[in-house]
Amino acid sequence: MPTHGGRTLAYVYDSGRRGLDELGMAAYALASPANGLDPTAFPSLLRMENDVVAAAAGLLGGTTATVGSVTSGGTESCLLAVLAAREGRRDVAAPAVVLPATAHAAFRKAAHLFGVRAVEVPVDPVTFRADPAAMAAAIDEHTVLVVASAPSYAHGVVDPVGEIAAAAAARGVRMHVDACIGGWVLPYLRRLGAAVPPFDFSVPGVTSISVDLHKYAYCPKGVSVLLHADPALRGGHYFASADWPGYTMLNTTIQSTKSGGPLAAAWAVLRHVGDDGYLRLARDTRAATAALREGIGRIAGLRVLGDPDATLLAFTGEPAGPATGEPDFDLFTVADEMRARGWYVQPQFAHRSSPVNLHLTVTAANRGGEDAFLTDLAAAVRAARAAGPVAVAPELVAAIGALDPDTLTAEQFEGLLAGAGLAGDGALPERMAPVNALLAAAPARLRERVLLEFLGLLYRPGS
């Protein structure tokens, strides 16, 4: 998939600015041999990290007490927020984290890794925003952390951070704002006049915020910042081991040896683009998002989900009529048809009140290409309509229904692959709609198991 030019609307972030990637990569190359493991041996990395954390704190309402760590990405920042919260409450024997159902999967990973229970709270079924009353009700004596998103990945909406933070603070519980994807663009959108709800350290009760620089700060991949309202909150993810014959291992994050590359690249890109530059990039991204949103609304049969606050869009198919309650085309086929036209849009499966939909991460590089996208999208919907529904053989659906994710065997997996018309070598077919339709028929737990088996097929020498 192309990484530049705005044709891949997930995974990649293109500023569209000539020379920016080259600058980042030059800084990356200079610093990558240096090792962030020892800030006293490589004080330039220390200085750059303090600069980058200060820049993030400055953007996100930090105070003189705000501190942070540079991590390898959003998932690591979220992991460390959970770890620090757990360590901060060692008196809680069975710690739990309260999450809106729309929180990023990174928090489930944190729960899995760190033995913390994830308490998932349903969100508003129409706006997809966290429900503050339900979040407050879910807080109990086990809760070590409450999470909100600014915005959520799936629907691009900002949760009511103020109310949730107040509820957490009232119970003496930490509150993390996951601004991994929005943190570097929402403040600029607000300056451009968008009605961005409060979500940063200016909100009382917010104790940590994650913001990824490899997203809307347009830095080369491998860099995020986890900010804490004060140093005491950070201590729980620091680690020391002096009890062995080698150097005293002192780590701020999960990694120990740490390339200086991503940090130096981010430092250079942040300084080069600067405040004015990010404002311009946000202006372009905002305009592109608005044009795409409006254009999608004009394509018969499509509907944008919720009322997105940032630069992410998710759209679904409208029921063709009251008789069926279903759209008269298959959304997965629309994704395939877009792929055939040179665009990547990301299928999202149904989850609670969120129907099957297609996700768009809009970046500055999409400015100017909106009409081309919308023309192709309208054609893709027409083609999907003409192609008709994607039929999953009833016996395959029945076979899926009979599978138990906890006991899925290699043979059952092979059988499923064969049934789906896939070779056993992990090669993907041209068209993914039949595979996605099959996966959509599986409950989430089974989908996880099946896809993990599939991952195992991909990562084999020679495959």
Ligand X SMILES: Cc1ncc(COP(=O)(O)O)c(C=O)c1O
Residues forming the site for ligand X (CB under 6 A)? 73-75, 78, 104, 106, 149, 153, 178, 180-181, 212
Give me the residue label for tokens 């994607």. 390
Is 16 or 182 the residue whose CB approaches ligand X more closely?
A: 182
**What is the number of alpha carbons within 13 Å of residue 163 lying toward its C-beta?**
13
The minimum distance between CB 273 and ligand X, in angstroms, equals 19
Is 212 or 284 the residue whose CB approaches ligand X more closely?
A: 212
The minimum distance between CB 73 and ligand X, in angstroms, equals 3
The minimum distance between CB 69 and ligand X, in angstroms, equals 15
The minimum distance between CB 74 and ligand X, in angstroms, equals 2
The minimum distance between CB 349 and ligand X, in angstroms, equals 16
Whole-angstrom distance, CA of residue 17 vs CA of residue 219: 12
Whole-angstrom distance, CA of residue 384 vs CA of residue 389: 8
The token pair that represents 74 in the structure block: 């959003």
The minimum distance between CB 399 and ligand X, in angstroms, equals 33
Longest Cα separation, the chain: 73
DSSP state of 236: G
Is 189 or 437 the residue whose CB approaches ligand X more closely?
A: 189
The minimum distance between CB 221 and ligand X, in angstroms, equals 8
DSSP state of 351: B
Give me the residue label for tokens 């590359």. 261
Whole-angstrom distance, CA of residue 186 vs CA of residue 198: 10
The token pair that represents 421 in the structure block: 């018309």
Whole-angstrom distance, CA of residue 107 vs CA of residue 104: 6
Is 232 or 452 the residue whose CB approaches ligand X more closely?
A: 452
The minimum distance between CB 385 and ligand X, in angstroms, equals 31
Is 149 or 316 the residue whose CB approaches ligand X more closely?
A: 149
Measured over the CA atoms of residue 424, residue 427, residue 431 and residue 433, the dihedral's sign is positive
Q: Treating both helix axes as pointing N-terminal to C-terminal, what angle do 433-440 and 444-458 enclose, rounded to 10 degrees?
A: 140
Whole-angstrom distance, CA of residue 424 vs CA of residue 168: 49
In DSSP terms, 314 is beta-bridged to 359
Is 306 or 317 the residue whose CB approaches ligand X more closely?
A: 306
Is 153 or 315 the residue whose CB approaches ligand X more closely?
A: 153
The minimum distance between CB 96 and ligand X, in angstroms, equals 19
| Residue with the CB atom nearest ligand X in the bound state | 74
Is 42 or 188 the residue whose CB approaches ligand X more closely?
A: 188
3-state helix, strand, coil in the chain (%, to 5): 40, 15, 45
The minimum distance between CB 150 and ligand X, in angstroms, equals 8
Helix H or strand E encompassing 116: none
Is 143 or 149 the residue whose CB approaches ligand X more closely?
A: 149
Is 219 or 273 the residue whose CB approaches ligand X more closely?
A: 219
The minimum distance between CB 309 and ligand X, in angstroms, equals 13
Is 11 or 247 the residue whose CB approaches ligand X more closely?
A: 11
Taking alpha carbons only, the member of 152, 57, 59 closest to residue 100 is 152
In DSSP terms, 317 is beta-bridged to 302
Helix H or strand E encompassing 225: strand 224-228
DSSP state of 235: G
Measured over the CA atoms of residue 362, residue 277, residue 214 and residue 27, the dihedral's sign is positive
Q: Are strands 143-149 and 174-178 parallel, antiparallel or unpaired?
A: parallel
Neighbours of 374 (CB within 10 A): 17
Whole-angstrom distance, CA of residue 399 vs CA of residue 415: 9
Q: Are 116 and 144 in contact (CB under 8 A)?
A: yes
